[in-house]
Amino acid sequence: MSGLCETPPLMDRVGSWRRALVVFSGQTDLPWLRALKPGYRHCFVSLSDGARWITLEPLSHCTEISHYPDTEGFDMKAFYLSHGLTVVETRLRKVPRACAPLWFSTCVEGVKRVLGLHEPWIITPYQLYRFLTSEKNLVVGKDFACNSEQIVYT
């Protein structure tokens, strides 16, 4: 058999993703999201394997997937920061092939699934931010899943 079946699923190649940026925004077009903490009303994730950036942005009506070359001289993190967004550089986690907790399809759920998080109590972007920046989740040095430190940029 040939084609896509021979290629491992994209997210199975955790070690190939060198960087993961979780991006938080206060922008929203949905009135009910204005009840969330300012600056933390939406989130999305960008992954880099050193050659390209893949951005997955879970929205209420669809998930937008974009790709950009990871060219020398372009800093994706700096790009997001220049637009007033908060960025957490983190890692992907290897998780067993088990069903993630059932929950509504939200931006937070989409990002958690990309990162390999099965934390059912994280439901808002700010809770995700707090989890990723908590002392037990901060990564000092290099990690198996991405060759970068977990750092918060605002």
Residue-wise pLDDT tens digits, 42-54: 999 999 988 899 9
Mean pLDDT taken over the chain: 79
The percentage of the chain sitting over the pLDDT mark of 90, rounded to a whole number, equals: 39
Using DSSP, how many helices (H) and how many strands (E) does the chain show? 3, 6
Residue-wise pLDDT tens digits, 92-132: 887 777 777 777 889 999 999 899 888 889 999 999 999 99
Q: Where are the beta strands (DSSP E) in 2-150?
A: 19-25, 42-48, 52-58, 63-69, 86-90
**Phi-psi group of 148: left, alpha or beta (phi > 0 → left; psi -120 to 50 → alpha; rest → beta):** beta
Give the angle subtended at the CA of 31 by the CAs of 28 and 35, to the nearest 5°. Answer: 85
Q: Name the residue ranges covered by the structural domains of the chain.
A: 4-153
Q: Please state at what angle helix 125-133 crosses helix 107-115, rounded to 10 degrees.
A: 30
Model confidence, pTM: 0.77
